[in-house]
Amino acid sequence: MTTASNPAPRPPEILARTARSLRDFLKQESAGGIVLMAAAAIAVLWANSPLSPAYFAMLDTQVAAMALGLGDSISYDNLVQRVLKRQIDKSSQFTDWTRRPLSQKQLVYALGDVTHLRDAYLKMRDELEQLGRLGWVREEMADLEDPAKYDTDPAKAWQRLKLRKPKKDYAAIVVAVAAWRETMAQELDKPRRRILKDDAIQEIASQKPRSEGDFGQLRAVPNGFIRSKFGNGLLEAAIDAIDNPDKYAPELGPRVQNAQIPAGAPELLKVLLKHVSEENDVVPRLIANAADIDRIARGETGDEIAAMSGWRYDMFGKRAQALLNGKLAVSFEGGQVRLFDV
């Protein structure tokens, strides 16, 4: 007696089964975490493979938008609208994303983060290449790709703060409290400022509180914080630094006295910056930031100032020097800024 063997599944049946299996998987609460872990594993393998240059060749669309004059910190939906002339349906943005299964509208909304971003990237990259500005964005990406930028070692957390006093006892407390805050932020997975604000660290270092009562007198530390379940750790860190400054204090070199900024110089440079940014259709912050403006106003010209090197120098830095040295003048004609050589 012979029996007929079951026919092999046809391609449409295989696709249908796969789709059902995928749909059932996505209905599970753990699906999101599993997908995230898989994506992280793939990223690690990719970053350490011969294809790693492609992985690290990131392009931040907000930086690219700044180089194209589309605005500073442009939102995703505005970017899609301006670059692709598409309107994103945001009606699903504030729906309940914890419920399963997700609705079709939610799935379309979520997919839009990938599909629109891909198309926007391709178009913006082409425009940057045509304008000769892709290198500008690559420079910014090199900074974002630097592992040191994301070093979250608590012992180095104080480097994110400005030491207002060149004193060992003050610096020791800043180092100890900043390390405590960084540790808590990582353990609780919360932003640093939600744990303790920068101003509070500076005030603790200045006032040197040793008790709950002392902390209660500080304006920048939330009232009652020192009596919370996390307060004891903060108190211990502060007292240990007060009693053992050599244990925490970093090496402090001689304090450099910055030259005084000539009155009106930063404002004049900002007028020039606005004119240059409009003339070249580039967001001002990509050319020079406030710190650059102040340093240039003091007469500093070092390459460590971003606005005084590379394309930024050619576009702005050279003119800024000429303006401060009296070789370039500014006038206003018909509501427009005019530059002319002196």
Structure confidence at residue 1 (pLDDT): 45
Residue 5 scores a pLDDT above 80: no
CATH number of domain containing 270: 1.10.150
Structure confidence at residue 32 (pLDDT): 64
Residue range 264-307, pLDDT digits in tens: 999 999 999 999 999 999 999 999 999 999 999 999 988 899 99
Structure confidence at residue 53 (pLDDT): 67
Residue 3 scores a pLDDT above 60: no
Q: How far is CA 16 from the centre of its chain?
A: 43
Q: What percent of the chain has pLDDT over 90?
A: 52
Determine the structural domain holding residue 141 and report its residue range: 61-147
Indicate whether 77 and 114 sit together in one domain. Answer: yes
Residue 6 scores a pLDDT above 70: no
- Residue 195 domain-assigned (yes or no): yes
CATH number of domain containing 117: 3.30.420.10
Task: Report the pLDDT averaged over residues 200-209.
Answer: 95
Of 112, 134, 113, nearest in space to 123 by CA: 134
Indicate whether 129 and 99 sit together in one domain. Answer: yes
For 187-196, the CB contacts below 8 A with 24+ separation are 192/157, 195/230, 196/221, 196/225, 196/234
Structure confidence at residue 151 (pLDDT): 76
What CA–CA distance (Å, rounded) separates 253 from 199?
23
Residue range 245-269, pLDDT digits in tens: 999 998 876 665 667 888 899 999 9
Residue range 44-68, pLDDT digits in tens: 787 677 776 666 667 889 999 999 9
Indicate whether 221 and 299 sit together in one domain. Answer: no
Task: Report the pLDDT averaged over residues 128-143.
Answer: 90
Indicate whether 159 and 143 sit together in one domain. Answer: no
Structure confidence at residue 242 (pLDDT): 96
* Burial group, residue 261, by CB count within 10 angstroms (0-12, 13-18, 19+): middle
Q: What mean pLDDT, rounded, does the chain reach?
A: 86
Indicate whether 240 and 159 sit together in one domain. Answer: yes
- Adjacent-strand bridge partners of 339: 330
Q: Are 283 and 73 in contact (CB under 8 A)?
A: no
Structure confidence at residue 204 (pLDDT): 96
Provide the domain count of the chain.
3
Q: How far is CA 39 from the centre of its chain?
A: 22
Is the overall model pTM greater than 0.75, yes or no? no
